[in-house]
């Protein structure tokens, strides 16, 4: 299976946060966090359709000016999503400049705040000097942020003494038609396959599909065709978590968001020897990141956002995270709630493997 998402951290692990995700098929790209982005090629910045900001501490948000500088003359719309307060933060940034020469510009910013049950929105257009234009709120189920045909963004609000959003970019499932079965049944490829995939995605098993065959067309229910003809595989999932306290409510949300992620990008501000300080600053240690990745069943863990105090010690972060991720060290042996979380996940996997209902 070809990967649809190509993720890459923009900076080194001791530098500002920014994860660039190129969308292979659409030609667009997404950016998670807006720390310094000078290292990002301008052509890549111009591909951005959405930017997701976890929180507006400087090391996650100061790249906004650079982003604006490059996208301003372009005829495009850019959506920036983040926690409550983002609209004010962006209005404040925009108010710091003079906009008397942008009347003819077409650039438009849409800013979206994830609140508990709704999305608050505002538009800012270069043509009006970025005057704030409120847009109606949108009801939105918790955990969901953006849904498009090519990707979906899931989110969770974590505790960093302020709300800090974690994100997962999720690809729709892959529906691959088995050409061997197609040939064996005498079915001819055609537009009916697109109708079949649409019916499968909408869970409409009873929808009749008119199938082109080598003889007379046949009407067959989508569910029957799905079982015979289609390999159904989950799409890619990339999870991005920064700046959060290691406690039970946060860990539960992170594990859900990183569940079986293909890549799990997780902050590790401290080494575990400084766990008390990590707690005080509402950050994770490398070991805690390894634990979360293991319990979530993430296929790959990338730790980053190391504190500059450990400059030159990047290897120590990787070793510590890997030891916990592989189960060589086990945080659940020290922390009762971690044991409950790890135990629950293992039980769920064991039951799932037997084909029973998940617990």
Instruction: Point out which residues bind Zn ion (CB under 5 A).
Output: 57, 59, 243
Neighbours of 137 (CB within 10 A): 13
- We find the least distance from the C-beta atom of residue 217 to Zn ion, in angstroms, to be 59
3-state secondary structure 197-229: HHHHHCCCCCCEEEECECCCCEEEEHHHHHHHH
Which H or E element spans position 109?
Answer: strand 108-114
- We find the least distance from the C-beta atom of residue 239 to Zn ion, in angstroms, to be 17
Q: Which is nearer to Zn ion, 140 or 250 (CB)?
A: 250
State which residue has the least CB distance to Zn ion.
Answer: 57
Q: How many residues does the chain have?
A: 359
- We find the least distance from the C-beta atom of residue 164 to Zn ion, in angstroms, to be 7
Q: Which is nearer to Zn ion, 19 or 126 (CB)?
A: 19
Q: Which is nearer to Zn ion, 59 or 320 (CB)?
A: 59
Q: Which is nearer to Zn ion, 140 or 244 (CB)?
A: 244
Q: Which is nearer to Zn ion, 4 or 307 (CB)?
A: 307
3-state secondary structure 115-181: CCCEEEEEEEEHHHCCCEEEEEEEECCCCEEEECCCCEEEEEEEECCCEEEEEEEECCCEEEECHHH
- We find the least distance from the C-beta atom of residue 133 to Zn ion, in angstroms, to be 29
Helix, strand or coil for residue 9? strand
Q: Which is nearer to Zn ion, 102 or 285 (CB)?
A: 285
Q: Within 13 Å of residue 56, how many CA atoms lie on the same side as its CB?
A: 16
Dihedral Cα 315, 321, 323, 325, nearest 10 deg: -150
- We find the least distance from the C-beta atom of residue 19 to Zn ion, in angstroms, to be 13
Give the Cα-Cα-Cα angle 184, 185, 191 (nearest 5 degrees): 115
- We find the least distance from the C-beta atom of residue 317 to Zn ion, in angstroms, to be 15
Radius of gyration of the chain from its Cα atoms, rounded to whole angstroms:
23
Q: Which is nearer to Zn ion, 211 or 266 (CB)?
A: 266
Give the Cα-Cα-Cα angle 324, 4, 86 (nearest 5 degrees): 75
Cα–Cα dist 292/342, whole Å: 9
Q: Which is nearer to Zn ion, 125 or 283 (CB)?
A: 283
Give the Cα-Cα-Cα angle 144, 147, 153 (nearest 5 degrees): 50
- We find the least distance from the C-beta atom of residue 290 to Zn ion, in angstroms, to be 19
Cα–Cα dist 331/328, whole Å: 10
- We find the least distance from the C-beta atom of residue 340 to Zn ion, in angstroms, to be 28
């Amino acid at each position: 299976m070809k990967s649809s998402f190509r993720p890459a951290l923009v900076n080194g692990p001791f530098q500002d946060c920014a994860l660039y995700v190129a969308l292979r098929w659409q030609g667009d790209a997404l950016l998670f966090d807006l720390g310094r982005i000078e290292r990002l090629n301008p052509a890549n910045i111009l591909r951005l359709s959405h930017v997701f900001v976890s929180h507006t501490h400087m090391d996650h948000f100061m790249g906004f000016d650079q982003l604006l500088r490059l996208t301003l003359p372009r005829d495009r719309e850019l959506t920036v999503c983040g926690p409550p307060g983002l609209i004010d933060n962006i209005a404040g940034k925009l108010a710091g400049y003079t906009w008397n020469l942008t009347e003819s510009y077409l650039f438009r910013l849409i800013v979206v705040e994830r609140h508990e049950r709704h999305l608050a929105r505002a538009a800012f257009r270069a043509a009006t000097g970025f005057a704030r234009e409120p847009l109606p709120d949108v009801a939105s189920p918790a955990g969901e942020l953006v849904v498009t045909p090519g990707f979906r963004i899931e989110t969770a609000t974590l505790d960093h003494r302020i709300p800090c959003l974690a994100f997962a970019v999720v690809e729709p499932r892959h529906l691959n038609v088995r050409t061997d079965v197609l040939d064996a049944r005498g079915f001819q490829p055609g537009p009916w396959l697109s109708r079949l995939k649409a019916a499968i995605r909408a869970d409409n098993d009873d929808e009749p599909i008119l199938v082109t065959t080598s003889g007379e067309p046949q009407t067959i229910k989508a569910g029957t065709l799905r079982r015979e003809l289609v390999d159904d595989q989950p799409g890619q999932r990339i999870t991005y978590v920064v700046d959060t306290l290691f406690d039970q409510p946060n860990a539960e949300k992170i594990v859900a968001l990183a569940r079986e992620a293909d890549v799990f990008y997780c902050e590790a501000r401290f080494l575990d020897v400084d766990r008390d300080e990590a707690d005080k600053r509402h950050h994770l240690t490398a070991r805690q990141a390894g634990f979360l990745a293991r319990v979530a069943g993430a296929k790959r863990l990338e730790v980053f956002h190391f504190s500059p105090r450990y400059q030159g010690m990047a290897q120590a972060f990787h070793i510590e995270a890997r030891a916990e991720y592989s189960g060589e060290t086990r945080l659940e042996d020290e922390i009762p709630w971690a044991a409950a979380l790890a135990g629950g996940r293992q039980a769920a996997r064991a039951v799932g493997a037997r084909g029973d209902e998940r617990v």
